[in-house]
Structure 1
Amino acid sequence: MLRLGNPGRRINIGLIAMIFVLSVFAGRLVQLQGLDSKVYATEAAKQRVQGEKIPARRGSITDVNGHELALTVEAREIFLDPAVVEPAQREKVAATLAAELGMAKDQVAAKLADGRKRYVPVATVTPTQAGKILRHKLEGVGSKHKYLRDYPGGDLAGTLLGFVGDDGNGLSGLELLHDRLLAGRDGEQVIETGAKGQRIPMTRSTRRTPVDGRDVRLTIDRDIQWAAQKTIAEQVAATGARTGSAIVMDVQTGQVLAAANAPELDLKNWEAAPAENWVNRAVADVFEPGSTNKVITAAAALESGAVRPETVFTVKDEIRCADRVLRDSHPHPTERLTFSGVVATSSNVGTILAAEKVGDRKLHEMLRRFGFGSKPGAGFYGEEAGLLPSWEDWSGSQRCTIAYGQGISVTALQTASVYQTIANGGVRVTPSIVAGTTDEHGAFTPSAPGRQTRVVGEHTAKEVTAMLEAAVSSDGTGTMAAIDGYRVAGKTGTAMRYDAACQGYCGYTATFVGFAPADKPRLVVLAVIQDPREGHYGGEIAAPVFKKVMTFALKSKKIPPTGTTPPPVRIRAGQ
Structure 2
Amino acid sequence: MPEESWRRTAGEPAKRVRRPAKKATTPHPPLPPRAVRNAGKPTSRPKPRKALPPRVAPPAKLGNPQRRLRFGLAIILLFFGVLGGRLVQLQVTHGSAWAAQAFEVRTVRQDIDAPRGSIVDRNGKPLAHSVPATAISADPTFVKDPDGTASKLAGLLGVPQSDLSTKLSRKKNDKGGTIRFVYLARSLDPEVGQAVNALELPGIYTLAEQRRDVPGHDLAANIIGFTGIDGDGLGGLEASFDDVLKGKDGRREFEVGARGQEIPDGYHKQVEARPGQDVQLTIDASLQFQTQKILAETLRDKDALMGAAIVMDVKTGEILSMASYPTYDAANPGASDSKDRVDIATSAVVEPGSVHKAITFAAGMEEGVINKNSVLTIGPTIEKGGETFRDTHWHDTTGMTVPGMLAQSSNVGTITIADKLGADRLYEYQQKFGLGDSCETGIATESPGIVQPPKNWSGPSHGGIPIGLGVAVTPLQMTGVYATLGNGGKKVTPSLVKGTVKDGELDKRSARGNAGDQVISKDNAKALLESMEAVVSDEGTAPTAAVPGYRVAGKTGTGQRVIDDKYAPGDVTSFIGVVPADEPRYAIGFFAHVPTGTSGSVAGPAFSDLASFTLRHYGVAPTGTDPPPFQVYA
C-alpha distance in structure 2 between counterparts of 1:474 and 1:517, whole Å: 18
CA distance change for structure 1 residues 345 and 558 in 2, over 3 Å: closer, same or farther?
same
Q: Which residue of 2 aligns with 1:312?
A: 375
Q: Kindly indicate whether the alpha-carbon contact (under 8 Å) linking 1:240 and 1:534 is maintained by their aligned counterparts in 2.
A: no
Counterpart for residue 508 of structure 1: 571
1:123 corresponds to 2:185: yes
Q: Alpha carbons of 1:231 and 1:446: their partners in 2 closer, same or farther (altered >3 Å)?
A: same
The within-5 A match list for 1:254-333 is 254-333=317-396
Larger gyration radius, structure 1 or structure 2: 2
* 1:460 partner amino acid: N
Aligned equivalent of 2:505: 443
Task: Indicate the residue corresponding to 2:251 in structure 1.
Answer: 188
| Alpha-carbon separation, structure 2, partners of 1:400 and 1:131 | 71
371-380 vs 423-432, which moves further:
371-380
Aligned counterparts, 1:108-119, within 5 A = 108-114=164-170, 118-119=180-181
In the TM superposition, what is the alpha-carbon distance from 1:559 to its structure 2 partner? 1.2
Deviation for aligned residue 1:135:
2.5
What aligned pairs does 1:97-496 form with structure 2 within 5 A after superposition? 97-114=153-170, 118-124=180-186, 125-200=188-263, 202-439=265-502, 441-450=503-512, 451-496=515-560
* Compared CA separation, residues 43 and 493, structure 1 to 2 (3 A): same
2: distance between equivalents of 1:152 and 1:306? 53
Identity within the alignment, %: 38
CA offsets per residue over residues 452-471 of structure 1, 9 Å max, x none? 32110011101110111111
Shift of 1:368: 1.0
What CA deviation, in whole Å up to 9, does each residue of 1:356-414 have, x standing for no partner?
Answer: 11111111111111011111233333221111111222222111211110111111111
**Separation of aligned partners in 1, 2:614 and 2:235:** 28
* 1:570 counterpart = 2:631: yes
Distance 1:129 1:191, change over 3 A: closer
**Structure 1, 213-222 or 183-192: larger mean CA deviation:** 183-192
Q: Is residue 117 of structure 2 the alignment partner of residue 70 of structure 1? A: no
State the alpha-carbon separation in 2 of the partners of residues 47 and 505 from structure 1: 63
2:151 partner amino acid: A
Partner of 1:547: 608
Question: Separation in 1 of the partners of 2:95 and 2:158?
Answer: 50
CA distance 1:229–1:336, change in 2 (3 Å): same
CA contact (8 A) 1:477 1:492 kept: yes
* Structure 2 Cα separation of the partners of residues 435 and 533 of structure 1: 37
Distance of aligned partners of 1:527 and 1:386 in 2 relative to their CA distance in 1, 3 Å threshold: same
Deviation at 1:106, TM superposition (A): 3.5
Moved more, 546-555 or 264-273: 264-273
- Are positions 1:11 and 2:69 aligned together? yes
Mapped partners of 1:171, 1:228: distance in 2: 25
| AA partner of residue 194 (structure 2) | G
Give CA-to-partner distance per residue, 1:217-267, whole Å, 9 cap, x none.
100000111111121122221112211011110111100011110001211
Question: How far apart are 1:286 and its partner, in Å?
Answer: 0.9
8 Å Cα contact 1:51/1:190 also seen in 2: yes
C-alpha distance in 2 between matches for 1:496 and 1:43: 68
Provide the rounded CA distance (Å) in 2 between the counterparts of 1:465 and 1:394: 30
**Residue 498 of structure 1 contacts residue 506 of structure 1 at CA under 8 Å; is this kept in 2?**
no
Q: CA deviation at 1:329?
A: 2.9
Residues 310 and 570, structure 1, Cα contact 8 Å, conserved in 2? no
Is the 8 Å Cα contact of residues 380 and 433 (structure 1) preserved in structure 2? no
Q: Which runs of 5+ in 1 are unaligned?
A: none
- Give me the TM-score of the superposition, normalised by structure 2: 0.85
How many Å separate the matches in 2 of 1:126 and 1:168?
16
Q: Deviations over 1:433-475 (max 9, x none)?
A: 1112211x22223334213321100111011101111111111
The residue that corresponds to 2:620 in the other structure is 559
Q: Which whole-Å CA distance do the structure 2 matches of 1:302 and 1:171 have between them?
A: 46
Q: Report if the CA contact (8 A) 1:232-1:262 is conserved.
A: yes
Alignment counterpart, residue 100 of structure 2, candidates 42, 48, 52: 42
Give the SS at the match of 1:9. helix
CA distance in 2, matches of 1:410, 1:56: 39
Once the two structures are superposed, residues 497-529 of structure 1 have per-residue CA deviations (whole angstroms, 9 ceiling, x without a partner) of: 33436x346431101000111101111110111
* Greater mean deviation of Cα atoms: 203-212 or 341-350: 203-212
Letter in 2 for 1:447: R
Q: Which moved more, 1:6-15 or 1:327-336?
A: 327-336
1:276, distance to aligned residue in structure 2 (A): 2.6
Tell me by how many angstroms 1:277 deviates.
2.6
| CA deviation after TM superposition for structure 1 residue 113, in Å | 4.2
Give the secondary-structure state (helix, strand or coil) at the position aligned to 1:135. Answer: helix
With normalisation by structure 1, the TM-score equals 0.94
Cα deviation, 1:540-570, whole Å, max 9, x if unaligned, reads 1111111111111111111121221112123
Q: 1:107 to 1:36 in 2, by over 3 A?
A: closer
User: In structure 2, the residue corresponding to 1:509 is in which secondary structure?
Assistant: strand
SS at match of 1:170: coil
Aligned length: 567
1:308-338 CA-partner distances (Å, limit 9, x unpaired)? 2222223232211121111223444444311
What is the RMSD of the two structures over their aligned residues, measured on CA atoms? 2.0
Matched residue SS, 1:267: coil
Q: Which residue in 2 is equivalent to 1:523?
A: 586
Greater mean deviation of Cα atoms: 197-206 or 394-403: 197-206
Instruction: Answer whether contact 1:466 1:569 (CA < 8 A) is retained.
Output: no
Task: Supply the distance in 2 between the matched residues of 1:303 and 1:101 (Cα, whole angstroms).
Answer: 69
Counterpart Cα distance in 2 of 1:208 and 1:335: 80
Gaps of 5+ in 2: 1-58, 172-177
Secondary structure in 2 matching 1:43: helix
Q: Determine which structure has greater relative contact order: mean sequence separation of CA pairs < 8 Å that are 6+ residues apart, divided by chain length.
A: 1
